[in-house]
Amino acid sequence: MLRYRLEGSGPPLLLIHGWGVTYAIWQNLAPLLRPHFQLIMIELPGVGGSPQVASNQPYYQACAEAIEEVRCALGVKQWYVLAYSSGTRAAEAYVQRYPQSIMRVIFLCPIYLLEIWALLLRLLNAPHPLTLRQWVLSDWRLYSLVRTFGFNGQRHDYTYVWTNEIELQSLETLTRTLREMPGGGRAPFDLPAVPTLFIWGGKDFLIAPPRLPGPNDVVIPANHSAPMLAASDVAEVVLPFLMEGRKVLVYQSQLRTYYASRSEALSIERKRIVMQRQKRAGKRFSLRKQSALQQIQ
């Protein structure tokens, strides 16, 4: 059975991690969620302490069956689901297979790749010697990939944390997760009628958010490291949807706040300019008055 960890109390919330990382990915978000839910943080097959799946079994279908095994073992009738990154494809397979087990599901930074990265993924998945994949997914090459796609090329301590954790995973699991991704990472999500919310990072360098967000889409000011670096923004959207079925537009509210503060600043600046002009006009009037008096005298 999959390795899992329980935290908090309340309605059950399943957390599914992303590519190559364990449930440690939730370390910043979990404290914001556990006062409201019992968190069930799993590690997908072949990751961390979870067993591998047979090589002849489709990986994401195996994920779905393994997740359902955890639900049955815990005696959970229905649960909420929050999946991240490539874990959204495992969640997709689970929702397709067991929609009756889910109350609401959220896909955070869902894997729908930009076309250029989908092309690179196809090149990586092409037949290559095993040593080439080992070379690409190790040392500074892996660090560069994590830094580029996870943090938009920016330096951060979490880059090393993620890189070290990914290097501990088996190469077979890392490559299978990428190789068997639906549509090479470009397939639209195919879901049954389960209440669903997609949370896209407005600064995510890896994925392609919809140009026109639909009723099930929310954009937040984050890149692909959202669970770590934008945990508060994520929680601001996750909690209302899971608890009330309500969608909160974080990005839009922040933009409104920005423009309101900008408008206030402009108003203050205008007042300052008007006062300066009035002061200069007063000085000019005083000088003209003095000059006129001197001419009279």
First to last CA, the chain: 105
Could you tell me the pLDDT band of residue 297, with boundaries at 50, 70 and 90?
Answer: low
Tokens of 109: 């930074």
Backbone angles phi, psi at 268, to 5 degrees: -65, -40
Question: Is residue 26 domain-shared with residue 172, that is, in the same domain?
Answer: yes
Find the domain containing 270 and state its range. Answer: 252-297
Question: Is residue 176 domain-shared with residue 164, that is, in the same domain?
Answer: yes
Based on the structure, what is the number of domains in the chain? 2
pLDDT score of 259 more than 50 = no
193-241 confidence digits (pLDDT tens):
999 999 999 999 999 988 888 999 999 999 999 999 999 999 999 999 9
The more confident residue out of 255 and 28 is: 28
Sign of the CA dihedral 200, 202, 206, 211?
Answer: positive
pLDDT score of 263 more than 60 = no
- Helix intervals (H) in the chain: 30-33, 59-74, 87-97, 115-125, 130-136, 139-151, 157-167, 171-179, 226-229, 231-244, 250-296
Question: Is residue 160 domain-shared with residue 268, that is, in the same domain?
Answer: no
Question: Is residue 130 domain-shared with residue 242, that is, in the same domain?
Answer: yes
Question: Is residue 88 domain-shared with residue 35, that is, in the same domain?
Answer: yes
Q: What is the CATH number of the domain that holds 191?
A: 3.40.50.1820
Question: Is residue 68 domain-shared with residue 202, that is, in the same domain?
Answer: yes
pLDDT score of 34 more than 60 = yes
Q: Are 65 and 71 in contact (CB under 8 A)?
A: no
- Which amino acid, one-letter code, is at 192? P
How many of the other CB atoms lie within 10 Å of CB of 172?
A: 13
Question: Is residue 265 domain-shared with residue 176, that is, in the same domain?
Answer: no
117-126 confidence digits (pLDDT tens):
999 888 878 7
Question: Is residue 189 domain-shared with residue 287, that is, in the same domain?
Answer: no
Q: What whole-number distance in Å separates Cα of residue 67 and Cα of residue 69?
A: 5
Question: Is residue 291 domain-shared with residue 147, that is, in the same domain?
Answer: no
pTM: 0.83
58-106 confidence digits (pLDDT tens):
999 999 999 999 999 999 999 999 999 999 999 999 999 999 999 999 9
